[in-house]
Amino acid sequence: MNDLPKKVHINEEGPREGFQFEKGPIPTARKVELIDALSKTGVKHIQIVSFVSPKAVPTMADAEDVVRGLTLEPGVAYTGLWFNDQGLDRAIGTGRLEIKGSISITASAPFLKKNLNRTPEQQRAVTRGMLDTYRQRGIPLDRATVMAAFGCNFAGDIPVERVVEMVGQLLDLAAEQGVKLERVSLADTMAWATPYSIKRVVGAVKAKYPQLELELHLHDTRGMGIANAYAGMEMGVKRFDSSVGGLGGCPFAGHAGAAGNVCTEDLVFMCDESGIETGIDLEKLAACGRLAEDVVGHPLPGSVMKGGSLRALRAKVREGIAEGARA
């Protein structure tokens, strides 16, 4: 089965993922510098901050300052992440972010217990509460995610039927509030996916819900990120989360939790070379990858920013031929 899309939409999550992951403090101005550079690459969506407790995540304490410091680029949606009403209020308070609702449920009950200390029933109740808030405040629901859709460190393999069932639960929860979900995100939260399982799970969800658009959130902990993205594209998936430079991860073995999102430049390179449009300028994006390394102060996992794209090489070859023709 090969259903390669003509065009792919990329949600850049590097700033939010990366700044959250980094241990050392990063000056607000440098965060702004990277986000501003990203906004000029053709990326249409950048998730930049989390509105979380500064005690829990000190590196996000300057979230409002980051948002305030940006030079907003027309046509780019800047978004933030929040987990409760307080976070939502902070996001709205900036007056500069696109406020769209998101909900998520988890395919693994043990993970839910470990991560949020909730039962699946409690999680559905929380989700209902969030949907209610969105409805009351007129916030459109943009994203609905099944977390741990490809496996879980605490539950092991997740049966495909379970993922299909969770997608159904999301549709039902939204429908209760009169919202018809048109898109669902499948998240490989703990990097269990391989191209093989991507095709199996995406195929099963599409078989049951052929009208539903799917989105993939892929982590690269086991080096499968790009292969998983391509497998998704071959199954017709058109939307991906990714991180410039692979922000959120680190190539050092000693660095626990080296689990970034799939690298944006590498993904865009693969799309470019497959005739799939992204609207993003790869050279500018690769420069952002190198800037990100400078901002965080250590190497990042991305490959294309180091190995180079093929555009410059092709241009050199053409020049060589032209010179040869003149000789």
Chain contacts with a copy of itself (rule: CB under 8 A): 1-2, 4, 110, 151, 153-157, 191-192, 194-197, 220-224, 226-227, 229-231, 251-253, 258-259, 263, 266, 269-270, 273-275, 290, 293, 299, 301-310, 313-314, 316-318, 320
Q: State in angstroms the smallest separation of the CB of 198 from a copy of itself.
A: 10
State yes or no: is 250 an active-site residue.
yes
- Give 1 or 327: the residue with its C-beta nearer to a copy of itself: 1
Q: Which is nearer to a copy of itself, 51 or 269 (CB)?
A: 269
Instruction: Report the distance separating Cα 261 and Cα 112, nearest Å.
Output: 21
Q: Which is nearer to a copy of itself, 112 or 226 (CB)?
A: 226
* C-alpha distances in Å from residue 45, one per residue of 6, 57, 210, 250: 19, 23, 26, 23
Pick the closest to residue 259 from 200, 192, 184 (CA basis): 192
The SS3 call for residue 266 is: helix
- Which residues, 6+ apart, have CB-to-CB distance to 159 below 8 Å? none
Nearer to a copy of itself, 174 or 258 (CB): 258
Q: Which is nearer to a copy of itself, 202 or 226 (CB)?
A: 226
Per the residue annotation, which of 250, 263, 271, 288 is the catalytic one? 250
Q: Locate tokens 């609207």: which residue?
A: 279
Asked if 158 contacts 108 with a C-beta cutoff of 8 angstroms, the reply is yes
The CA distance from 10 to 264, in Å, is: 8
Q: Are the CB atoms for 165 and 143 separated by under 8 Å?
A: no
CA distance 274 to 7: 11
The one-letter amino acid code at 87 reads G
Neighbour-count burial of 204, counting CB atoms closer than 10 A to its CB (0-12 exposed, 13-18 middle, 19+ buried) = middle
Active site residue ranges: 250
